[in-house]
Structure formats: structure tokens, C-alpha cells
Amino acid sequence: MKAFYCSSIAALVLLSGCAGKSAKPGSQSVPPGVLALTPPAKGDPAQRLTTLLASEWQRWLVDHPEEASLTGDHRYDDRWTDMSLDAIEARHVADAAALLKLLEIDRERLTPAGQLNFDLYRQQLERDIEAYRYRGHLQPINHLGGVQTSDQLAEALQFETVLDYENWIRRIRGIDAAVDQSIVLLRMGLAEGRTVPKVIMKRVPPQIDRQLVKKPEASPLYTPFLKFAPGVPEDQRARLADAAKAAIRDSALPAWQRLKDVVAKEYLPKCRDSVGASELPEGRDAYAFAARTSTTTNLTPDEIHDIGQREVTRIRGEMEAIRKRVGYQGDLKAFFTYLRTDPKFFYRDGPTLLSAYRDIAKRIDPELPKLFGKLPRLPYGVRAVPEASAPDTHTAYYQPGAADGTRAGNFYANLYKPGSRPKWEQEALTAHEAVPGHHLQISLQQELVSDAGGTLPAFRSQISFTAFVEGWGLYAESLGPEIGLYQDPYSKFGQLTYEMWRAVRLVVDTGMHAKGWSRQQAIDFFKANTPRAELDITNEIDRYIAWPGQALAYKIGELKIKELRARATAALGSKFDIRGFHDVVLGSGALPLDILERNVDTWIEQQDGGVIVKLRGTP
């Protein structure tokens, strides 16, 4: 997943904004004076929790206006997240104050549902507060995102009324301040030795160049005005278009030029040559924290590295079996080259590639009731990654629909250089990003709140634990044989390729960020164990460099879900119901893996004759 959903704690640690004055790792992260902000708690614990969570949700919407827009709350459609130092500090103080208020509530007097809400919000606050220590806000830009990719928000928004367009014009004008805030943070990062690795920062100036157009109407920010919605009166369209051009000319273009000058002349030349997070101040602690929070486990980087090596060995064995099955005479390395290069495995053009993805999705949809008792109401589409971002974007991503149901979810497929997008990966990729993967899981989570009749706090529709969300996506790939996929052995090999990809991630991410591996070492290990195209491999490795720890979550989450399924099958035998199992896994939204395990164990015990059998050898 990408764009506005794929935010994990790893990003909070090393990319996004939370900080103020630096705190030493291991020190108390609650700012002085916060204790005075929270008077002794009184009243009913359930009511206090409800009130706190409702208030905190409103704070979150105000603090994250882009996310508010994506959830369908349009009160803040005219602004960007405030990344000034004062605002960053204020958000941290508010997080600490909220945690103290939460801890004053007697958890034991809450219902099980209330305790779950309590536990989830506590974990969210604690991880955000701890992330504050590592000053990740001083790396506000890399090739995966930053102010220079602000136009991508428009791709996800609905433009239907005059006000929608007027709000976007205000956002265009706001680019000016957003750029200046990013420049302040970049310069502070330089001063403190907290820079983005040079190898990935080199990708940023071309992204800014795409914003530096000669005519405002050629700007990516102007895209919504190229075709007005039917609901916009004809006599308003010229006014809106002219205002957008003026905002781009007078605010955005000068800001982009300032950013380009700072990045290309001042920042990039002084970026670090190293790629590992451990090279940053407090980097080892930051990466260990990223590993724990990304996986929602207590696994260390060394333990994760070892799990990855074991999984790579296992999956290679299954790949060898398929190589022999199709009668290929060369070794696995030669087979990889064959799969990467033979023209029969590729489409010649983007539209045909996109059509193939859509056909796969249509084949999967009617098979879903076999595996799920509850399916989401929200539809989804299959779209192309925007051309402007496609060269620097990985193979595909999912963008959720609006929580209010006004916008469908979308699976975005990268059509850039179709000769590097093999047919054999398409079924696994569709299963991961669309159904039964991200669209199914995320849409069900969004519907939890609306279906709860107001009894479920709104934050539950948006909370994300990457190990669960991406673990589910990878587990969804493994469901292919149960819904008619992978009939072709090459497509099955594609599924193994994607599983290997996630196992390799455990090795190369920890290798670069904890064990001193170079970028080239990581690329070579990736190439030796997967048939993915070199363009994809390079983009993936650079993603791991930019987003330390996030990639660890996929395989660890998948292994846990498979472990729980095996446990339930062993406990229930012939009474095991796959639809019931999947419904309980997805029925509470995204969860830390320990809470997911608790839920599944409870479900097993509630089934007739269920006896929990703990299996060994899994994380």
C-alpha cells in the first residue's frame, strides 16, 4: 500500500513529524508540566473513555486535515498539516496529556469492548510519544513523499461542488507555507546530522522539476480544473480556473523554486552516503523501536533477520519444485532470468496490462463468499498509478475509499514500462491489494464504526497496525488456490515470488539498518532470491532505505495469521469453519498481533469442543 494509508510507526520514527527539543533515548518522554494538565478523574469510566476518545478523534482530524478529507470529513479541506516546530511540539504535548487522562480511567471497570478500545488507544499514544524521541520530523522529504507530492491528494478527493474547487485553490495557496516549513526542518536536520541518504534524495529534484511548469495549467495541482464536475455551474468555471492558475503562478511555483534551490544546492550535497538508520544519532534505538512497533512484537532486528533467512530457504525449496514441474532445465538463477526477460511473460502496453488486472479482480469477486461470512459494502476500482509518480512508485498500492461511503476504494497498478511488469505476478498482486486483501480488510474496518450504531469510537475505523494490515494482505495472497487462482504454475510461482519478496525484506531491511549492509549488498541478495525485474528491486530497496522497519511487518504478520489458523484447525478439527475464522480475524479491525491472538483464542474456546493447541516454531 502507498499514499495516504500506508503510514506506520516506522514512518513516524524516521520520516514524519513529531518532535521539538531532542530527548535522550530511554528518558521520560512526557513533557514537564503535563501532569498539571489532567485533574483527578471522576465519574463513570465508560463515559469518561467515550468522551476522551471522541475529543481525541476531533483533535486528530484538526491536526491531520488531509486524512480528514480522505475520511469524508470536509471541514478542513482548505488546509495542510501544520509542520511548524510549534505545531509539532503542541501535538506531542497533547499526546502526552491524552495518555495521562486515559491512564486515570479504571480499565478493570470497563466492558471487554471498552477494554479493547482502551488498549488500542493506549498503544497508539505510547508509540507516538516514544517516536518523539527520534526527531523523525527532521527528514520531512524523501522520494516516497513530502510536500513535493502534495498534488497526489487531489487524485483521492471528490470534486463535485464549487466549494470543493475553492478549497483546493486554498490548498494550492497553502503550498507556500508548507514548503517553507519543510525547508526549516531540512536545515535543522542538516545541523543535527539527521539527513536522508543521498542515494534516495537524488530522486527528489526530478519530482520537484515536474512541479516547476512553465504554464500554471500544466501543473499537476491544476488537474482537477481540466474537467469540471457536472454540479459546477458553467458561469463559475472560468472564475475557478483563473483563480487556480493565479494560485499556482503566485504561490506554488515560487515555492517549488525555493524548495528546488534548497534541496539541490544546499541539502543534497551534504546528505549522508550511508543508508542504514543505525548511522543516525540514536539510530540503533530508533530502528529497534521501529522493528518492535512495525511488527507489534518484541522481536529484535537480529531475531527478525534469522526468521527471514529461514523463510528464504523454505520458499526456495518450493520454487525449485515448480521449476522442475514446468520442465526448465537450468538452475533457479537462470529460471529467474528467463521469467524476467522472455517476452511471453509481458504485455506490450499499459492499457492491456490494466485490463488484465481488472479481469482478475472480476474473477475473484464471486468466489469470496466461500471464505468470508461478511463482505464489505463499499465497492472498489482498479486504476493506473498517476503518470507523474509512476517512475518512482512500486508495483501497486491500495487507496481506501471514504469512510462515509462517498468514494470507492481503489487498487492502483503501475503501468510505467509494462515490459517490466510480468503477467505471472498479477494474480498475487490483485489478491493482496484488492480482494481478499486490503480492500476487503480496510473497508470492513471502516464499516465497523457505522455498523456499531455510534457505540464504537471513530478512531477504530482508521487505526492502522502495519503487521496486521500488511500481514493480512500477504496472507490473502496465500488464499489464491481456495478462490481459483494460480491454476497456471507460473502464476503459482508468482505467488511464491511475492512471498519470497516479503521474506527477503526481513533480511535486507535488518541487514541495511542494523547489520551494516550496503545498498548493493541488499540489491544483490534480492536479485539472487527473486525473479523480480531490476527496476522493481531497486525501487524496493530504496523504499526500505527511506522507510526503515516498515517492510518487516508483512511477513511477521502473515506468519502470525497462519499460525493462528493452524492452531484453530488443530483445536477444532472437522468443526473448523474458515468463514468464522476469517470473520473473527477481521471482525475488530486492525489489531496488534498479541490482541489478535487473544481474540482468536477466545473464539476457539467459544466453539463447541475447542481446545487450544499452541504450536511451536513461529514468532
pLDDT tens figures, 202-246? 999 999 999 999 999 999 999 999 999 999 999 999 999 999 999
Nearest partner of 378 among 413, 357, 406, 412, judged by Cα: 406
Beta strands across the sheet bearing 396-399: 380-384, 409-413, 396-399
- Residue range 106-163, pLDDT digits in tens: 999 999 999 999 999 999 999 999 999 999 999 999 999 999 999 999 988 999 999 9
In the listed set 97, 114, 134, which residue is the last one of a domain according to the structure?
A: 134
Is residue 229 included in any domain, yes or no?
Answer: no
Answer whether 0.75 is exceeded by the pTM. Answer: yes
- What pLDDT, on a 0 to 100 scale, did the predictor assign at position 393? 79
Is residue 461 included in any domain, yes or no?
Answer: no
- What pLDDT, on a 0 to 100 scale, did the predictor assign at position 388? 79
Identify whether the C-beta of residue 294 lies closer than 8 Å to the C-beta of residue 549.
Answer: yes
Is residue 298 included in any domain, yes or no?
Answer: no
Residue 606: burial class (beta carbons within 10 Å; 0-12, 13-18, 19+): exposed
Question: Half-sphere exposure of residue 548, counting CA atoms within 13 Å on the CB side?
Answer: 33
In the listed set 95, 116, 134, which residue is the last one of a domain according to the structure?
A: 134
Q: Cell numbers 522493481 label which residue?
A: 536
Question: Half-sphere exposure of residue 428, counting CA atoms within 13 Å on the CB side?
Answer: 26
Identify whether the C-beta of residue 462 lies closer than 8 Å to the C-beta of residue 442.
Answer: no
Q: Is 357 helix (H, G, I), strand (E, B) or coil?
A: helix
- What pLDDT, on a 0 to 100 scale, did the predictor assign at position 83? 98
| Residues in the chain with pLDDT values less than 50 | 1-40, 613-619
Is residue 601 included in any domain, yes or no?
Answer: yes
Is residue 408 included in any domain, yes or no?
Answer: no
Identify whether the C-beta of residue 377 lies closer than 8 Å to the C-beta of residue 405.
Answer: yes
Is residue 33 included in any domain, yes or no?
Answer: yes
Q: How far apart are CA 87 and CA 548, in angstroms?
A: 25
Identify whether the C-beta of residue 192 lies closer than 8 Å to the C-beta of residue 135.
Answer: yes
Is residue 478 included in any domain, yes or no?
Answer: no
- What pLDDT, on a 0 to 100 scale, did the predictor assign at position 450? 64
CB atoms within 10 A of CB 404: 12
User: What residue numbers bound the domain in which 563 lies?
Assistant: 556-606
In the listed set 134, 152, 183, which residue is the last one of a domain according to the structure?
A: 134
Instruction: Give the chain's domain count.
Output: 2
